[in-house]
Each structure stands twice: as C-alpha cells, then as structure tokens.
Amino acid sequence: MTRILPIDGDSLEMAKSIIDGGGAVAFPTETVYGLGANAFSTSAVDNIFRIKGRPNDNPLIVHVTEDFDLFKLVDYVPEYAKVLAKKFLPGPLTMVYPSKGKVSPSVSCGLDTLAVRIPSHIGAQKFLKAMGVPIAAPSANISKHVSPTSAEHVFYDLNGKIDLILDGGCCQGGIESTVLDCTGEYPVILRSGLVTREMIEEVTGRCGVYAYKEGAPARSPGMKYKHYSPKCKTSLFAPDKIKEAVKEYDGAIAEGIKALIMCDGKTAQSLRRDFGGRELKLIILGNTPEEMAANLYAKLREAELTADYLITIAPDNRDGVMAGVMNRLSKACR
C-alpha cells in the first residue's frame, strides 16, 4: 500500500530511509509531482524507469537545493546561464549543462549533458534538504499518461508501486518546467513551460526554440514520445473550427458516446451564445494562460474519468505561457 503523508519531520524521516535504501518517493514541486530517487545510485535510478514504464533513452532531471554547488555536477556554466539562474531560480526552469559524469549514467541515459532543476516549492526544498543528495526525478505518473498535479493523481497512477507520497497540495504551476539547453553560445528551449521564450529573451537577447522533427535524433529525447494522454479517445480542433467541433460532438452523442468539449472560458462563452438552446457538456480550462496551465492536467484527468471521447477546441493564443499549454494539449489530444 502507498501512503500519502503531509510533509513533516516524521514523513521526511521515512522518505530518507526509503531514498537511502535505493527506493523512490513522490514529492510535490511548483510544476507537477516528481518521483525521486538518489541520483548517485544506478539501481535506484533504474528502478524509477521500471516503476513508470519509461523508455530507457528519455533522460531524467536532477533536483537540488537552492544552495547546492552546481560545479559538483556540471563542468561548465556559460555567463548567460548564470544571469538566467539569478533571475529565475529557484523556479520552473531546468537547465542542461555539460555533465561532470558524477551522477549515475542512467540519469542522462548515457548523454554527456545533465539537466538540473532547483524547484521553488517549499515542500520540495524541505524534501531535498532532508535527503542530502541530488534527486533524479521524472514526473510521478505512469509513462505517457497525464502528469500529476496532486497527491491523489500520483496515487491513482502509482498506488502499490511506491511506499510514500509526500503531499504538498495542488501544484500551482501545472505544467512541467521549461527545459533550456545551456551547452551552446545562446540558450535553446527544448521544452516550453512557465519560464517563457519571451522572458528568457528579455534577459539574454537571444533564445532558440528547438522544434523536433519526426524521425530525426531528438535533442531532448522526451519530445519524440507520446505524452500527457488521457485514457479516452481525443481530438483537437483549431480555434476557428468551433462549428466542426460541435458537429463532431453531436455525432458522438447521437451514437450514444459519452462526449465532452474542453475549451477556454472565451470559447465557452461563444459556444453558449451560438449554441445556447442546446445542452453541451463542457470542461472549461480557464481564462488566463496561467489558469489554463494550472488546470490542464487535472481537467484531462477529470475528462478521462467522466467521458469516453474528449473533443478539445484549442485556445487561439500561442504566445508566452500558452506555448507550453498548447505543446501539452496537442500531445495529449494527438
């Protein structure tokens, strides 16, 4: 049985004995819940891949405390990365550096780089301090399923597979950290998140965005996999295809399929206005980009539990935080 405990002296002591014994503990961060293990132990890290059913070429992020000396683990930190770290850390930004090769090779799946993250969540910092070692952690979900933003989400996916979930409430951020390649002359976003391209450019003047092309070797292996998927049928309609989405919904309902439409607050308003005479089952993501990021995974999990078919209408904004939201939404509804 998996226990869910609030973060206090007793639960951290229990966590420490699990981590010291080569096991895995789920813990909250400001983005999503992580499934952590001792980054120095190959068997502990391999165990995480096993628990999640994660492909063994998709590397993990190492989580460290605010005061951790980065040079224990990485070879080189460019000037721009130092400035970015000062501005955004602790926070939802993961930075990829040339690795010193000190942690288990399983963390980076044999790559010569290392992804490092300093979470700002107070519970995460307490956990990391108490463990006393860098913690390798992916999101605490079964591979390819929707990421967890509450202890209950973790329990749903991992009950019976791990001993302990540290409960820090619902994650405020809601989508995973921005992954930023800091091995080159200028930073390149490998995965978009709450620290946006616009925010990084404001500091560094230049920021690339890596776009993965199907079939090519991936710079961030995570992007080639199916991800964030609810366990029901899904489809994604462009913001200007509202009528088509409603037609799809009507068709499904006529066949007796439990269908839902997911959209932002603005689209919900126009649906109610234009199709007001009808009863449409809606899941509303939120109104602002930050709200939508915070709600996205909980709404996808709600959808899979209540519907057989999730029809999503994409919000029409793609800038800033919405780049990250749309990245997850399009992978979830692929």
Residue 31 interacts with Mg ion (CB under 5 A)?
no
Among 23, 90, 91, 222, binds ligand TXA (CB under 6 A): 222
Strands laid side by side in the 25-27 sheet: 3-6, 164-167, 25-27, 34-38, 135-137, 61-63, 113-117, 93-98, 178-181, 188-191, 208-209
Cα–Cα distance measured from residue 188 to residue 210, given in angstroms and rounded to the nearest whole number: 6
111 makes contact, choosing from Mg ion, ligand TXA, none, with CB < 5 to 8 Å by partner type, with ligand TXA
204 makes contact, choosing from ligand TXA, Mg ion, none, with CB < 5 to 8 Å by partner type, with none
Among 41, 94, 125, 149, binds ligand TXA (CB under 6 A): 94
32 makes contact, choosing from Mg ion, ligand TXA, none, with CB < 5 to 8 Å by partner type, with ligand TXA
- Is 248 strand, coil or helix? helix
Residue 183 interacts with ligand TXA (CB under 6 A)?
no
Q: Residue 289 CB: number of other CB atoms within 10 A?
A: 23
Cα–Cα distance measured from residue 317 to residue 320, given in angstroms and rounded to the nearest whole number: 9
Q: Using CA atoms of 326, 310, 223, 138 in order, give the dihedral in degrees to the nearest 10.
A: 100
196 makes contact, choosing from ligand TXA, Mg ion, none, with CB < 5 to 8 Å by partner type, with none
Judge contact between 7 and 166, C-beta under 8 A: yes
Residue 204 interacts with Mg ion (CB under 5 A)?
no
Q: How far is the CB of 259 from Mg ion (least distance, A)?
A: 27
Whichever of 138 and 315 has its CB closer to ligand TXA, that residue is 138
Helical ranges in 182-320 per DSSP H: 197-204, 242-254, 265-274, 289-306
Cα–Cα distances (Å) from 116 to 18, 119, 169, in that order, read 22, 10, 24
| Touching ligand TXA, residues 3-32 (CB under 6 A) | 29, 31-32
Q: How far is the CB of 232 from ligand TXA (least distance, A)?
A: 22
Q: How far is the CB of 96 from ligand TXA (least distance, A)?
A: 5
- Give the residue closest to Mg ion by C-beta: 139
Residue 108 interacts with ligand TXA (CB under 6 A)?
yes
Residue 139 interacts with Mg ion (CB under 5 A)?
yes
Whichever of 52 and 299 has its CB closer to Mg ion, that residue is 52
Cα–Cα distance measured from residue 77 to residue 36, given in angstroms and rounded to the nearest whole number: 25
- Give the residue closest to ligand TXA by C-beta: 222
Q: Is the peptide bond before 6 cis (omega within 30 degrees of 0)?
A: no
Among 91, 123, 221, 286, binds ligand TXA (CB under 6 A): 221
Whichever of 138 and 252 has its CB closer to ligand TXA, that residue is 138
H or E segment to which residue 153 belongs:
helix 151-158
Q: What are phi and psi of 5, to 5 degrees?
A: -130, 145
Cα–Cα distance measured from residue 194 to residue 251, given in angstroms and rounded to the nearest whole number: 37
78 makes contact, choosing from ligand TXA, Mg ion, none, with CB < 5 to 8 Å by partner type, with none
DSSP category for residue 216? S
Residue 138 interacts with ligand TXA (CB under 6 A)?
yes
Extract the tokens encoding 77: 């930190």
Handedness of CA 228, 234, 236, 242 (dihedral sign): negative
Cα–Cα distance measured from residue 316 to residue 94, given in angstroms and rounded to the nearest whole number: 27
Number of residues that bind Mg ion (CB under 5 A): 1
Residue 176 interacts with ligand TXA (CB under 6 A)?
yes
- The 110-129 site mask, x for binding ligand TXA (CB under 6 A), equals -x-xxx-x------------
Residues near ligand TXA (CB under 6 A): 29, 31-32, 34, 58-61, 94, 96, 108, 111, 113-115, 117, 137-139, 176-177, 179, 190-191, 220-222
